[in-house]
């Protein structure tokens, strides 16, 4: 097995046993990127020089016996997350030349362990999209079939992990951006509860929805990375003070007697591909065979989740993106006066989808429409949250497909924003509720594309959703 193909746990064992060095491990990932990424386009920036410097420092720590769980482990970071001294574009030309002066808290925590940041991964610009086709740096190809999308918005991160260009990635999930590409690329992706991980240093999309989480090859690795990044942060007032459990220890427990809910609205959705449905139903039987109790439940407000999301998220987006004015950050276009400069910078610096969201959000927040759209959507958001609260008094976790279908063709939905929005139908509800969701590979289509299962649980039930996801095996 090549070094870049190892999981975090395997690499840790090999590094600690001195079977190979961090420099060799990192070089294996960099070699894979240089061989394969012309076809995949997972990376916008490869930080080869600084990665090798970090790898040498990691080798010194290991030699001195001072290693931590992530020392010497190469990882990638979604380009919408700030990395000190490494260009961070959010896949939009308006930030083409932006190099942050600081690290996001989660990145700093990982680097403090002596991990190695090998580069910044492609995504839909500012996280807006479900296919990575809204990147101003080109789409990302799915490693399982280069004609297919890798999913979005964290398509580059998912493809990089799936194609063994790094051992894990850190990405952001506002409306499914970790789980859906994880499902399309056949890896593990966790959207944590809102407030579990710090959002400091994440380029804000919709602040009341944004979360940061890992994308890994296994659930075991997910537990390792979550242990490092979870917790309260003084720099993000929305992080919660609750103590961080021992995620790896919890994974050892079984699921006997656990009540797993099957929300019928997800399985009766008319866009669901029968192959996806069958794969998840088979996994449900396997979970039952392992002692879980399977319970049919209903989440009737699921049908409003996309409508609510596409009012509230663009509203928050339109406000957050106001700072991208071509003056304080990024690329500045010329203009005859200040207004012209703003307009030209934003016109050239944002792709169509970002402009569409700014328009929708500005409209939904404007006097006269605020009550009809924004306020109404907030009220329905509360009802969606209560729908989940009620169901979690009946069951411990929920299982659903992550996406109604496997990866679609590049270009298939890009001209139809509504079709693209509907791709999020199963991942969006958890975002309104602020609850955790994990996607794990649960099967393959006949044509060889991964199918993801999603496990959702009540707030701060990361242990539980990981434990159930860990029992899903192909
Ligand atoms: N598909 C979602 C959207 O376009 C994903 C957003 C996200 O999680 N960053 O809004």
pLDDT tens-digit profile of 11-63?
A: 999 999 999 999 999 999 999 999 999 999 999 999 999 999 999 999 999 99
Compute, in angstroms, the gap from residue 248 CA to the centroid of ligand 1: 29
The per-residue pLDDT for range 197-240, each reduced to its tens digit, is: 999 999 999 999 999 999 999 999 999 999 999 999 999 999 99
- For the Cβ of 204 lying below 6 angstroms from any atom of ligand 1, the answer is no
**Residue whose entry in the numeric block shows the structure tokens 């839909």:** 124
pLDDT digits (tens, 9 = 90+) for 347-401: 999 999 999 999 999 999 999 999 999 999 999 999 999 999 999 999 999 999 9
153 in contact with ligand 1, CB cutoff 6 A: yes
Q: pLDDT tens digit string along 39-49?
A: 999 999 999 99
Give distance in angstroms: CA of 458 to centre of ligand 1. Answer: 21
pLDDT of residue 1: 86
Rg from Cα positions in the chain: 21
Residue with the smallest CA separation from ligand 1 atom 6 is: 175
Distance 174 CA to ligand 1 centre (A): 6
pLDDT-derived band at 330 (thresholds 50, 70, 90) equals confident
The pick from 424, 428, 429, 432 for probing ligand 1's pocket by mutation, whose C-beta has the most ligand atoms within 8 angstroms, reads 424
Kindly report the protein residue whose alpha carbon is nearest to atom 10 of ligand 1: 128
What is the number of the ligand 1 atom nearest to the C-alpha of 177?
A: 8
Q: 327-348: string of b/e by CB count within 10 Å (b at 16+)?
A: eebbbbbeeeeeeebbebbbee
Cβ burial 68-100 (10 Å sphere, 16+ → b, else e): ebbbbbbbbbbbbbbbbebbbbbbbbbbeebeb
Mean pLDDT on 421-446: 97
**CA 309 to ligand 1: nearest atom:** 10
Residue 6: its pLDDT value, please? 98
273-287: pLDDT as tens digits: 999 999 999 999 999
Is ligand 1 within 6 A of the CB of residue 181? no
Residue 168, pLDDT score:
99
Ligand 1 pocket member 156 (CB < 6 A) = no
Domain ranges of the chain: 3-250
Assess whether 78 carries a catalytic annotation: yes
pLDDT at 72: 98
CATH domain 3-250 topology: Amidase signature (AS) enzymes (3.90.1300)
Q: Active-site residue among 88, 91, 154, 177?
A: 177
Segment 160-181, tens digit of pLDDT? 999 999 999 999 999 999 999 9
pLDDT tens digits for range 254-270 = 999 999 999 999 999 99
The dihedral over CA atoms of 128, 134, 136, 138, expressed in degrees to the nearest 10, equals 130
Residue 328 pLDDT class (50, 70, 90 cuts): confident
Contact present, 409 and 148 (Cβ < 8 Å): yes
Is the pLDDT assigned to residue 189 strictly greater than 90? yes
- How many A from CA of 286 to the centre of ligand 1? 31
């Amino acid at each position: 097995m090549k070094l870049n193909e190892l999981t975090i746990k395997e690499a840790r064992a090999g590094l600690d046993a001195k079977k190979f060095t961090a420099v060799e491990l990192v070089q294996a990932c960099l070699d894979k990127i240089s061989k394969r990424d012309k076809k995949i386009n997972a990376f916008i920036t490869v930080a080869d020089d600084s990665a090798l410097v970090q790898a040498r420092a990691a080798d010194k720590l290991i030699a001195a016996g001072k290693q931590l769980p992530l020392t010497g482990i190469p990882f990638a970071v979604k380009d919408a997350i700030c990395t000190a001294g490494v260009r961070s574009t959010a896949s939009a030309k308006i930030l083409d030349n932006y190099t942050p002066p600081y690290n996001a808290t989660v990145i700093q925590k990982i680097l403090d362990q002596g991990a190695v940041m090998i580069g910044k991964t492609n995504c839909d610009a500012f996280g807006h999209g479900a296919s990575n086709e809204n990147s101003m740096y080109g789409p990302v190809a799915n490693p399982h079939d280069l004609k297919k999308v890798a999913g979005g918005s964290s398509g580059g991160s998912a493809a990089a992990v799936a194609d063994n260009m790094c051992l894990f990635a850190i990405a952001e999930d506002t409306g499914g951006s970790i789980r859906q590409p994880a499902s399309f690329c056949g890896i593990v992706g966790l959207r944590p509860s809102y407030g579990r991980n710090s959002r400091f240093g994440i380029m804000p999309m919709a602040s009341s929805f944004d979360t940061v989480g890992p994308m890994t090859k296994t659930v075991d690795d997910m537990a390792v990375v979550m242990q490092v990044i979870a917790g309260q942060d003084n720099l993000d007032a929305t992080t919660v003070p609750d103590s961080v459990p021992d995620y790896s220890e919890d994974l050892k427990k079984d699921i006997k007697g656990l009540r797993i809910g099957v929300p019928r609205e997800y399985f009766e959705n008319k866009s669901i591909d029968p192959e996806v449905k069958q794969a998840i139903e088979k996994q449900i039987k396997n979970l039952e065979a392992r002692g879980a109790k399977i319970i049919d439940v209903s989440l009737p407000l699921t049908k409003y989740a996309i409508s609510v999301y596409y009012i509230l998220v663009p509203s928050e987006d339109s406000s957050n993106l106001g700072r991208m004015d071509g003056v304080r950050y990024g690329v500045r276009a010329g203009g005859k006066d200040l207004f012209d400069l703003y307009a030209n910078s934003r016109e050239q610096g944002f792709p169509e989808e970002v402009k569409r969201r700014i328009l929708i959000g500005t409209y939904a927040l404007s006097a006269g429409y605020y009550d009809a759209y924004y306020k109404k959507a907030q009220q329905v958001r509360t009802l969606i949250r209560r729908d989940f609260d009620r169901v979690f008094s009946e069951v411990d976790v929920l299982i659903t497909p992550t996406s109604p279908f496997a990866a679609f063709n590049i270009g298939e939905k890009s001209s139809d924003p509504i079709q693209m929005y509907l791709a999020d139908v199963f991942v969006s509800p958890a975002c309104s509720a602020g609850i955790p969701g994990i996607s794990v590979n649960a099967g393959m289509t006949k044509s060889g594309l991964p199918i993801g299962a999603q496990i959702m649980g009540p707030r701060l039930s990361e242990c539980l959703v990981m434990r159930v996801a860990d029992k899903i095996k192909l």
